[in-house]
Amino acid sequence: MRILHVTGYGVKIGVTGAALNIKARDGSKKIPLSEIDVVVLASSGISISSRALRKLVITGIEVIVVDGRGLPVGILYASHYTRTTTTRRAQYQAYGGELAVSIALSIARCKMLTQASTLRRLSVDLGVRELAEEARRVKAKASSIDLSVLPRTLDEARSVIMGVEAEAARIYWGSIALILPRDIGFNGRDRDSIDPFNLSLNYAYGILYGLAWRSLVLAGLDPYAGFLHTDRSGKPVLAFDYVEMWRAPLIDEVLVRAFMRGWRPRIESGRLSYNSRAEIAGFVSERLKQVCPRAYRHMTFDEALRGYALRLAESLRRGAPYQCYEGEAA
């Protein structure tokens, strides 16, 4: 996925022929539309012409608007996609039945399995044997819940599933805290913390939310009707569900490696600088180009992010269990 990440103040975006024109205080450049899949607008100081917006939509390029933390506040995309009506009817009908419980469990289990495989890879690459043991503990949590013993209603099953997921998360983030350099001040996952690693996670997750949202819509799904997370007015909870299996391999591992090799973001007034945001977007973009290990076929992470959304849509239409991304064996 080729992401054009635009940030800074006084930036103007227009279009000439088949290329975007981007004018900033330090110069201007033209980027062919054929080289862009997604445009991320990451600043309130950007102006974009209606002609450019129309051209982007016609060309099939989504525009994601994010706030200072990287969270998407809106997405502009084409007004029609294939099989949307059939897929969304199946999605809504599934909510009250056993299939919804099965999907919620599958997503949570895959989150824990990808966390385990991420710890295993870091253990091998960094030479920290303790991580391998922690990976096995997280994997054991993923195997500790069986669909047959869960309550039949989604609300009751969700609380059981989320309880186990929280136990696995404590093991996982405790392991990450142990290997990160002490100067970072990372003591665990905390969205409100201003340490550089948590701030970087927040911003990178925000980008991932936007990309997940896009993948779900392209698959014909309603990003606001989720299974694992409780419905909240105005919140794309299915996107929150869907990112769970991708956080560890797409974001956590990439940022751990960046910090371990000495990269540090610049923080201004408790927020990441514009340059640091662009660097994080670059990390994510590069990761998306890499091969996704043990996917259902040979594919990049970019292709997998879209492919597993299509699988979810197919699962709902067929009323069949959802086989999400589990990562590598840990």
Q: Return d(Cα 262, Cα 185) in angstroms, integer.
A: 14
Residue 100 lies in a domain: yes
Q: Which residues face 12 on adjacent strands?
A: 23, 47
CB atoms within 10 A of CB 191: 10
Write the pLDDT tens digit of every residue in 220-255: 999 999 999 988 877 899 999 999 999 999 999 999
Residue 102 lies in a domain: yes
For residue 9, give its domain range: 3-66
Do 159 and 44 lie in one domain? The reply is: no
Do 35 and 166 lie in one domain? The reply is: no
Q: Where among 40, 66, 92 does a domain terminate?
A: 66
CB 26 within 8 A of CB 275: no
Q: Is the dihedral of CA 186, 191, 195, 197 positive or negative?
A: positive
**What stretch of H or E contains 4?**
strand 3-6
Do 41 and 142 lie in one domain? The reply is: no
CB 245 within 8 A of CB 104: no
Check whether 330 has a pLDDT greater than 70. Answer: no
Residue 37: give its domain's CATH number: 3.100.10.20
Do 236 and 102 lie in one domain? The reply is: yes
Write the pLDDT tens digit of every residue in 135-176: 999 999 999 999 988 998 999 999 999 999 999 999 999 999
Residue 172: give its domain's CATH number: 1.20.120.920
Write the pLDDT tens digit of every residue in 193-227: 999 999 999 999 999 998 999 899 989 999 999 99
Q: Is the dihedral of CA 117, 66, 289, 239 positive or negative?
A: positive
Do 197 and 104 lie in one domain? The reply is: yes
Residue 327 lies in a domain: no
List of residues 6+ apart from 41 with CB closer than 8 A: 6, 48, 63, 64, 65, 66
The tally of domains found in the chain comes to 2
Higher pLDDT, 177 or 269: 177
Q: Return d(Cα 26, Cα 97) in angstroms, integer.
A: 56
Residue 261 lies in a domain: yes
